[in-house]
Amino acid sequence: MQKLLGYMRAACQDYDMIQNGDKIAVGVSAGKDSLSLLAAMAKLKSFYPEPFDLVAITVDMQFGNEPTDFSEITAYCESIGVKHIIKPTNLYKLIFEVRQESNPCSLCSKMRRGALNLAAIEQGCNKVALGHHLDDVAETFIMNLFNGGTLDCFQPVTYLDRKEVTVIRPMIYARESDCARVARRENLPVKPSSCPADGNTEREEVKQFLSSLEKKYGNVRGKILGAMQRKEINGY
């Protein structure tokens, strides 16, 4: 946990992610990344120089057209003193049954974020924290390069002027393995993904590609982030 907290504090200070009085909604999907973010943000709150409040928000896709049982996550949130909000949606039905998307990830991501941002605003939050880590940064960069021929990635801090909410990504210096370690050692209530596309996506292919490169070239993901910072790509 201390290693993850160190990465997060550095990212928050480097990119001025948190200001005094912020109310931050942490998007919690029930996966290891978002739960590690929530656990670390709750600890960060106790010593960060800028006071802030937290609320955890889960967007329920309702896989199989049934509400998901998030009771273990709600209980965990209560144990760390964070309010847990569950936002029901019909996204599973819309994406997988009505539209029958063959490549659902991009649309699903956009619609989930939209629902999350709306729920955050309803809770009086001015910021939304997402659980993207260094692996996600590198994978997204490579996907944009290969698919669109662009040097592009999501930003560490993004102000959404239409919704008047700011999206922050405090874990961009941390590796996915750091999140997995925290989830295991803190015994976080991680739930297996119910998504029909889980493990069979383009992102998974890029993940394996980068892992194969790292066997020969070392920390490829870290080098990609470093190059983005030196060239100031998308606010890095």
Confidence band of 62 (pLDDT split at 50, 70, 90)? confident
Confidence band of 193 (pLDDT split at 50, 70, 90)? confident
Range of the domain at 144: 2-235
pLDDT of residue 69: 93
Residue-averaged pLDDT of the chain: 93
Residues 28-59: b if buried by 16+ CB within 10 A, e if exposed: bbbbbbbbbbbbbbbbbbeebeeebebbbbbb
User: Is residue 126 over pLDDT 70?
Assistant: yes
Structural domains in the chain (count)? 1
pLDDT of residue 199: 67
User: Is residue 201 over pLDDT 90?
Assistant: no
Say how many CA atoms lie within 13 Å of 81 toward its Cβ: 6
Q: Are 156 and 136 in contact (CB under 8 A)?
A: no
Per-residue model confidence as pLDDT tens digits over 83-109: 999 999 988 788 887 777 767 777 888
Mean pLDDT of 42-65: 94
pLDDT of residue 184: 97
Q: What is the CATH number of the domain that holds 140?
A: 3.40.50.620
pLDDT of residue 87: 95
Mean pLDDT of 40-69: 94
Mean pLDDT of 142-155: 95
Q: What is the pTM of this model?
A: 0.94
Residues 212-225: b if buried by 16+ CB within 10 A, e if exposed: eeeeeeeebbeebb
